[in-house]
Chain A
């Protein structure tokens, strides 16, 4: 069947174009000399070592991981009670907060960044390292909010009814029934927010750009002084970490369902 062949060719072509920039970067990252050439001349992992030994790169890596972990955790802490409340009670007015939680993600990011910049400057905290954690948590609260809404929506209310009939109060129901059922959605919400915070540039730059360097800020600053293979090495590490996190989500959770397709058993 020529159609099937054509489809395969087109799909392979798209996969090739999507991975081409990353393959070139991966090639550049193993250059023996300090130059960006492709195909690479010689082979060396020295640039990968430099990410961990050079204090500048290592500091940026640690800063990014700390910010991403804390802000993803805070995003989940904000999203969980809101999603639970919307599921537990009939309160149409509370949808307003859900919409608020979705808005920063839909608008161009520069707007949220500028809002935070004026806000932190007004309260006199502009440049404090913790402000980027709060900013990222609010910016990315959409992700755990969406995964948790899906998660609560998937809880069979019959279980809850049964527990309540036998005398369980809200707290017991939440701990013994709801929590184990929505745990995968909590984890995937955290993971989405973590990965996006790790890669976020503009909000971090406007909020703490002059006092601390996260990895994207560090890469951008380094770009101005010319390209080095270290940047390529950092990029490869970042892409691998990102792919690993999504791979784990897909392995432990139902990725098509998380992305809005009906699950097979529906």
Chain B
């Protein structure tokens, strides 16, 4: 069986179904969304075909600017915190004996796949007055009486980092699992402390991986749409929340679509950067 280019129709036929499904149910909806972003909204929750840029002009308002800069700042903060914790953690994880490693991976995958609804519910319970962590502080004598810690910016940040942490570990996992341990052993033999070896050998060697992972986590955090509603106050709403709100509750599909197109462009540019950073590592 020679691996050559397919020639006949029969040889091409297996790809027909997947190609058709992806074009009809991904490319077309995606293009449609871009089209809707230049449609004109008509009162009553509908829109008609047109070619206007008024939906994009709303980006110039201070309200949108505020939401946009808050979303980007929040995603950046989440990415920095998550990578800061996950990198040393994953570095240790890949050196654990295989059964322990697998137990951790199952645990992390389970948290990663949890619905945002569930994470939001679990954190708001943990931070609530009646069932929350403050009851423990009261019992330990650290606090006078239990209080509610949610909604607040801190609660939102905790929830987002919680959600992003397993993702960050799993993005870092392949690169760290393949990292040559002899580099560290060499540094240790030459008298470097474990901490010094970590910061002067491991971190610089994997600098591009760290950059690429930070960007991927940034995009991941940018996509969070429920936690800002469940754990934050209205001023903590992100672009994803605003898009959902405009599409469903304000019935303004064209404006929602315009914001979504903007979010796509930001995300794709960032993913492109991440791939570029990742590739440079492979060459080096």
Contact = CB atoms under 8 A, between A and B. Distances in A.
Contact of A250 (B27, B102, B177): B102
Nearest to B194: A3
Say what secondary structure dominates the interface of chain A: helix
Interface residues of A, number: 95
A81 B14 contact: yes
B118 A216 contact: yes
Contacts of A65: none
Contacts of A206: 244, 247-248
B239 to A, nearest CB: 8
A261 B263 contact: no
Interface of A: 3, 7, 10-11, 14-15, 17-18, 20-22, 24-25, 27-28, 35-39, 77-79, 81-82, 84-85, 88-91, 94, 97, 100-101, 103-104, 106-119, 122, 134-135, 137-138, 141, 160-161, 163-164, 170, 173, 195-196, 199-202, 205-206, 209, 215-216, 219-220, 223, 227, 231-232, 235, 238-239, 242-243, 246-247, 250, 255-256, 259-262, 264
A122 B28 CA distance: 11
A119 B177 contact: no
B256 to A, nearest CB: 6
Contact of A90 (B5, B116, B263): B5
A198 to B, nearest CB: 8
B165 interface: yes
Contacts, number: 258
B263 A110 contact: yes
Interface of B: 1, 3-6, 11, 14-15, 17-19, 21-23, 25-30, 32-33, 36, 85, 88-89, 92, 94, 98, 101-102, 105-111, 113-126, 128, 130-133, 135, 162, 165-166, 170, 173-174, 177-178, 194, 219, 222-223, 225-226, 230, 240, 243-244, 247-248, 253, 256-257, 260, 263-264, 267-268, 271
A78 B18 contact: yes
Given A82-B18, A216-B118, A219-B121, 16 more contacts: A3-B194, A10-B88, A25-B121, A38-B131, A81-B18, A82-B15, A85-B15, A97-B19, A106-B219, A111-B263, A115-B26, A115-B32, A202-B116, A227-B124, A239-B118, A261-B178
A97 B15 contact: yes
A201 B22 contact: no
B131 A138 contact: no
Contacts of B15: 81-82, 85, 91, 94, 97
B22 A101 contact: yes
25 contacts: A7-B92, A18-B165, A24-B122, A24-B126, A35-B130, A78-B18, A89-B5, A89-B6, A100-B27, A106-B271, A107-B264, A108-B240, A110-B243, A110-B244, A114-B33, A116-B25, A118-B257, A196-B113, A202-B116, A202-B244, A219-B117, A232-B125, A238-B114, A246-B106, A259-B105
Nearest to A261: B177
B110 A246 contact: yes
B5 A138 contact: no
Nearest to A35: B130
A226 to B, nearest CB: 12
Contacts of B113: 195-196, 199, 242, 246
Nearest to B230: A223
Contacts of A79: 18
Residue of B113, B268, B271 with most partner-chain A CB within 10 A: B113
Contacts of A247: 106
B118 A238 contact: yes
Given A18-B162, A20-B126, A134 B25 contact: yes
Contacts of A220: 117, 226
A188 to B, nearest CB: 11
Nearest to B96: A11
A37 B131 contact: yes
